[in-house]
Structure 1
Amino acid sequence: MEQHGEILARYDRQMRRGAVADGPGARIEHVAGVVRQTAGHQGGWDGVVWSDLDAATADGAVAAQVRHFASLGREFEWKLYGHDRPGDLADRLLAAGFEPEPTETLMVASVDALRDLRVELPADVELREVTDPDGVDLAARAYERAFARDGSWLRDYLLTQLAPAPRTAVAVVATAGGEPVGSSRLESAPGRDFAGLWGGGTAPQWRGRGLYRASVALRARLAAERGHRFLQVDALPSSRPILERLGFTALTTTTPFLYRPGRPARVR
């Protein structure tokens, strides 16, 4: 695999500076040292994916993004990476009224170098790619069971992904006796070396039984079929040891900073 610095630079170039919109009507905008997404509808993901700022420009750029999303009546996320400049950008975001969510670790693995992916699932568990509205409903219900959160945004998002070709998001759902017990998705923008693993969650009573590892294996196969070289994931402490055993390595950290004057914002 390439060296750490080379992979991180490639990730920044392709996935952050070269970000693509993640849904119908959403737009990517490059404005004064910032790359942001403005969702096509209320409830989509709004936020900053990349910035190249310094001590002289940071406060103005932060204020400009607050004004932009406030003019739309939107809450939004500034996705701050551990190597972003200036070094005190987190403090500047806090001073501007942002609230940090738990820090995660950006981890990557070469699709070809993943190991120990074979999993024998319990006899009554089926893991499959979501291809129709019924599968979307199962994935959303599994999300709700895993995270104890409303899954309507995920249902709406995945339904929009059934029609486009090529699809840029593919959901995977695990069922036990026909009931949804786990879900996850693969974000797969055409022409990118990286495919993202997102939203992996398992209902509490089914954790520790190989469902997460099996979902990584299935999504790795789907990524390879789409021509991606690397998988990336923003890993919580609970999933990092599993990913390390599979061959993932840490690149940097990422912290969602939320600006939410009203109701809670959705975190990607």
Structure 2
Amino acid sequence: MSDNDSQKRAQFLAAYDEQLRTDAETPSAIKVIVQGPLRLVTFLNGRGFITYKNLGGADQAAIQRLVPEAMAYYQADAEIIRVEWKTRGHDHAPGMHEALIDNGFIRDEQESIMIGEASALAVDVPLPEGVTLRQVTEETDVRAMSAMQDEVFGDPVSDDMAEALLRRLAIDPGMELWVAEVEGRMVTAGRLELVPGTKFAGIWGGATREEWRGRGIYRALTAARARSALNHGKLLIHSDSTEFSRPILERSGLLKVSTTTPYYWKR
């Protein structure tokens, strides 16, 4: 990595910690309480989510107390059936992995925190013949998009995400859903989330059917979302990326600034 990239990485990471690790991280929360350094968030459908801006220099002993204290809050609410604890690789959090495992959490796959200038992504990308891009808002399209993403990610097709997206569309003008289609069949999809009060927009949920990968469609969909972000005055793009999408975003000029690893608890 060049000195310029190292400087940009540090600037992007500082902006991420300052602007995105607040209410901006959980726009669809129905309840948020602060417990010490932690933000304990509740979403619809019995989902809990734990995050924090930093841990205030907590040592291993303090973290061993923080985790069960936070979980006591959710365990007391019978409607909560699953909780995600979001960790970041650049945090000072000694003993966090062990404390989470000891309290019933299961570690999921690590992802890369990617950040870059929206202008670096907002380029013209040629599409294969017959492929078109569009933004979707109608219920039938949203449900079809959600089902396609479930299939691509290897999950059972569920109404939960579609219902959540439809609720967000009804109340949040800062979320956009984008798809690529071939003869009316969705082959790629993803969403754009404009983060109020920040320079950021997030790109999330990128999914491409296996037989259509490697043809530039995901990159074109990313470019379309970046152009929309710029039109809304957002200068930076962020994403938690799997190993499928990370190389594409790196080729577009985004930098890996850290990692994030979710841990999941189920009742």
TM-score range, shorter chain: 0.7 to 0.9
Q: What is the TM-score of this pair, normalised by structure 2?
A: 0.88
Contact 1:129 1:171 in 2 (8 A): yes
1:259 pairs with one of 239, 250, 265: 265
| Equivalence for 2:35 | 31
The correspondence of residues 124-163 of structure 1 with structure 2, limited to 5 A, is 124-149=130-155, 150-163=157-170
Q: How far, CA to CA, are the matches of 2:96 and 2:146 in structure 1?
A: 35
SS of the residue aligned with 1:160? helix
Q: 1:68 matched to which residue of 2?
A: 73
The answer to whether structure 1 residue 57 and structure 2 residue 59 are counterparts is no
Question: In the TM superposition, what whole-angstrom CA distance separates every residue of 1:148-184 from its partner, at most 9, and x where no partner exists?
Answer: 32242221122112222x5232111122111122211
What amino acid sits opposite 2:15 in the alignment?
R
Partner of 2:147, secondary structure, is: helix
Q: Aligned-pair RMSD on alpha carbons? A: 2.0
Q: How does 1:1-268 map to 2 (within 5 A)?
A: 3-19=8-24, 21-23=26-28, 26-39=30-43, 41-42=44-45, 45-50=47-52, 51-53=54-56, 54-55=58-59, 56-73=61-78, 74=80, 75-114=82-121, 117-149=123-155, 150-164=157-171, 167-261=173-267
Which has more helix, going by share of residues?
2
Q: TM-score, structure 1 length as denominator?
A: 0.88
Partner of 1:264: none
Alignment partners' CA distance in 2, 1:130 and 1:36: 32
Opposite residue 160 of structure 1, the aligned amino acid is R
Identical positions, percent: 32
Q: Is the 8 A contact 1:138 1:173 kept in 2?
A: no
| Structure 1 counterpart SS, 2:262 | strand
- Which runs of 4 or more aligned residues in structure 1 lie more than 6 Å from their structure 2 counterparts after TM superposition? none
Q: Does the CA contact (< 8 Å) of 1:161 and 1:170 recur in 2?
A: no
Q: Distance in 2 between matches of 1:141 and 1:179?
A: 12
Partner SS for 2:197: coil
Aligned length: 256
What is the CA-CA distance between 1:18 and the residue it aligns to?
Answer: 4.2
